[in-house]
Amino acid sequence: MTKLVRPTVRSGSAAALVERARAGDADAFEVLLDTRLDRAYRLALAITRTDWDARDACQEAWIAAWRELPRLRDAARFDAWLDRIVVNECRMLLRRRKARVREIRMEEDPDPASEPSTPSPEGPLADADLVRAAFARLSVDQRIVLALHRGDGRPVAEVAHLLGVPAGTVMWRLFNARRALEKALAEVST
C-alpha cells in the first residue's frame, strides 16, 4: 500500500510564500498560518476571553484569509492584513453571541455564613487572576487596543494602521482603556 505524503514547504521568505499561496498553493498557505497561529490565537483569546471562541475566530479568520488572499495588494503586509482579519472575526463572533445569548443572573445567597470558607489566594497568581477578571470587564474595543499595544508590544502607528484609524484615535482609546482597566481592577479587588 502506498502512502500519500503531502509535500512540505518550509523554505522561502514570507513574501514568496504569500505569492505562492495567492497562486493557489495550499501547502504554502499552511506554512504561512503555521508560523502565525500562536500569535493570532493569543490575540483572539485576549479579545474573546474564551478558548473556544478564540479557536472559532482563528478558524474563521483562516477561511476568510484563504478566500481573500488574491485581493491582498502587498505581500509584505501579510501579517498586518491577517491580524486585521483576526480582529474582525473576533468582533463578528462577539456580536453574533451578544444577539443570541442572554445572561441570566442568579441571586446570590443572602447568608454569607452558609458558604464554605475558602482561603483567599495570595501572591502573583492571585494578581494575575485579578487582572484577568478586570480585563474581562472591558469592552471588546478596549481589549483589542490593549492586547495589540500592551500585549503584543506594537507601536501606536502599527495599531492605528491595523485598526484603520488615526494614531490620535488609538492614543485616545488606549487612555480610556487604561482608565477602564484601573477602574475594573479596583472593582474586582474589593
Residue-level pLDDT at 89: 95
Mean pLDDT of 124-145: 82
* Averaged pLDDT score across all residues of the chain: 82
pLDDT at 2 over 50: no
Q: What percent of the chain has pLDDT over 90?
A: 49
Q: What is the pLDDT of residues 15-41, one digit of tens each?
A: 899 999 999 999 999 999 999 999 999
Residue-level pLDDT at 26: 92
Of the candidates 127, 27, 128, 39, the one whose C-alpha atom is nearest the C-alpha of residue 82 is 39
Confidence at 137, pLDDT banded by 50, 70, 90? confident
> Which residues 6+ apart lie within 8 Å of 88 measured at CB?
61
C-alpha cell at 81: 492584513
Residue-level pLDDT at 107: 53
Mean pLDDT of 127-155: 86
Rounded CA-CA distance 82/67 in Å is: 12
Rounded CA-CA distance 27/118 in Å is: 52
How many C-beta neighbours within 10 Å does residue 189 have? 12
Residue-level pLDDT at 188: 87
Residue-level pLDDT at 120: 47
Pick 14-100's CATH classification: 1.10.3720.10, 3.40.50.300, 1.10.1740.10, 1.10.240.10: 1.10.1740.10
Report which listed range, 4-8, 83-87, 130-134, is most confident. Answer: 83-87
Confidence at 116, pLDDT banded by 50, 70, 90? very low
Domain range annotation of the chain: 14-100, 125-189
| Fold assignment, 125-189 | Arc Repressor Mutant, subunit A (1.10.10)
SS3 readout for the chain:
CCCCCCCCCCCCCHHHHHHHHHCCCHHHHHHHHHCCHHHHHHHHHHHHCCHHHHHHHHHHHHHHHHHHHHHCCCHHHHHHHHHHHHHHHHHHHHHHHHHHCCCCCCCCCCCHHHCCCCCCCCCHHHHHHHHHHHHHCCCHHHHHHHHHHHHCCCCHHHHHHHHCCCHHHHHHHHHHHHHHHHHHHHHHHC
Residue-level pLDDT at 13: 83
